Structure 1
């Protein structure tokens, strides 16, 4: 399973640090994979503030899901 987190740069520093720790590679493959992307110049509503950048982050992941399930 892969978990993709997209966050704004205005994210609470403690939360940002915890997310980055989750994204660090682990030796135990059963823990899954977490990626964290930071969208600059965005606030709480990334989809409204930076829709193009959000699509640039999500599109490759969505395409890979479709290709994997064909």
Structure 2
């Protein structure tokens, strides 16, 4: 068999590290969902509230 180039070795290492990070992020997300914890800093960006903001902007345009 042939020897892998240095570039390929580094690329494989990077891909393995990214895969581990993605696994960790997935595990963390599952843990947050299962525990029911809610981050107040993120809750202000919920879709329902964003939809209400866009409705308010459109109603102001119509009335003005």
Higher helix share: 2
Q: TM-score, normalised by structure 1?
A: 0.26
Q: TM-score, normalised by structure 2?
A: 0.27
Bigger Rg over Cα: 2
Choose between structure 1 and 2 for higher RCO, CA contacts under 8 A separated by at least 6 residues: 1
Higher strand share: 1
